Amino acid sequence: MREYTVIDTLKDTLKRAEKIVFLTGAGISQESGIGTFRGNDGLWEKYDPMKLASAQAFRDDPRLVWRWYNDRRRKIMAVKPNPGHMAIASLQSHRQVWVLTQNIDGLHHGAGSREVIELHGNIFATKCTTCDFKGKIRDEFPDRPPSCKICGSNLRPDVVWFGEGIKREVWNQAIIHSMSCDAMIIVGASLAVSPANTLPLYAKNIKATLIEVNPENTPLSNEMDFSIRKTAVDALPKILSIFESLN
Ligand code: NAD
Ligand code: ZN
């Protein structure tokens, strides 16, 4: 019953919202079957993912890190976008929608979202460790890092590793959209990872409505206008139906 009270209040707020920005994290892909970094992961149980996902680890043992990414690529290829991703994509028929995601799995694109900014890159993209070459890897995953066609150095996943910064042009775009939305909906992000956790504050500064979809509290829960303590698959189709009922 209580849930419907929240939905009704949300309805009044969202009526006037023209541009909606979603900020998504690992939690939205959890119900597609992709674990967060902290989950136990069979083969890789004895390794610390925080250490594998770093430039230092790749320098120390490029093959090990590359194989770990191959495993993650295979897992991602075996799963599908879930009704949470799909609801965000469907909202495009009703509102201007931008997705800022910390995820590297490409599931928002898979669901049909057109305006997606991948803050941390994409697991199927590669870049040279030395020159500017960029590539893609999709169909076959060699068990060692491929060599750059231009300079012969190792290619690495084109993702933002621990200790690295978000690309400047990507970050600028994220700020521009956060500062021009009417509502920001934050889904499955622990908001513990800087600087992505500052984006809701840019939105709050321009008085956008802040909505969080997360079964757990986050460090920014107190800043939210609405905290929906549900999973993405549970809450997002309901939020979509609010917009559908407004048209
Ligand atoms: P996180 O793992 O730090 O936090 C996940 C959050 O999602 C938590 O607050 C949790 O309460 C919430 N959550 C869990 N299940 C949920 C559900 N079903 N619906 C809604 N919320 C749910 O994730 P983060 O904030 O994205 O930061 C972790 C970093 O790890 C990111 O930078 C990301 O690049 C990387 N990562 C990405 C993937 C991916 O691409 N799918 C997977 C693992 C890690
Ligand atoms: Zn090169």
Asked if residue 1 has pLDDT above 50, the reply is no
pLDDT, one tens digit per residue, over 207-239 is 999 999 999 999 999 999 999 999 999 999 999
Ligand closest to Cα of 154 equals 2
pLDDT, one tens digit per residue, over 116-142 is 999 999 999 999 999 999 999 988 899
Tokens 């910064």 locate to 165
What CA–CA distance (Å, rounded) separates 45 from 39? 9
| 120 annotated active-site | yes
Asked if residue 2 has pLDDT above 50, the reply is no
The structural domains of the chain, ordered by start, are 1-34+80-120+166-247 (3.40.50.1220), 35-78+122-159 (3.30.1600.10)
Q: What are the structure tokens assigned to 71, written together?
A: 């495993």
Higher pLDDT, 194 or 86: 86
Residue of minimum CA distance from atom 4 in ligand 1: 190
Secondary structure element (H or E) that encloses residue 78, with its range = none
Residue of minimum CA distance from atom 2 in ligand 1: 36
For residue 64, the model assigns a pLDDT of 95
pLDDT, one tens digit per residue, over 49-91 is 878 999 999 999 999 999 999 999 999 999 999 999 999 999 9
Please state the φ and ψ torsions of residue 222, each to the nearest 5 degrees: -70, -20
Pairing of strands 121-128, 134-136: antiparallel
Give the mutation target among 23, 28, 34, 37 for probing the ligand 1 site: most ligand atoms within 8 A of CB: 37
For residue 48, the model assigns a pLDDT of 83
Secondary structure element (H or E) that encloses residue 2, with its range = helix 2-14
Higher pLDDT, 9 or 155: 155
Q: What are the structure tokens assigned to 9, written together?
A: 């209040």
Give the mutation target among 32, 190, 236 for probing the ligand 1 site: most ligand atoms within 8 A of CB: 190
Nearest to 174 by CA among 237, 72, 102, 110: 102
Per cent of the chain over pLDDT 70 is: 94
For residue 176, the model assigns a pLDDT of 98
Please state the φ and ψ torsions of residue 157, each to the nearest 5 degrees: -60, 140
Reading phi first (left if > 0) and then psi (alpha if -120 to 50, else beta), residue 198 is in alpha
For residue 9, the model assigns a pLDDT of 82
**pLDDT band (50, 70, 90) for residue 246:** confident
Q: Mean pLDDT across the stretch 27-34?
A: 95
Q: What are the structure tokens assigned to 209, written together?
A: 């409505």
Nearest to 237 by CA among 114, 81, 126, 38: 81
What's the pTM value of the predicted model, to 2 decimals? 0.94
Higher pLDDT, 85 or 13: 85
Q: What are the structure tokens assigned to 39, written together?
A: 């989950």
Distance of CA 46 to the CA centre of its chain: 26
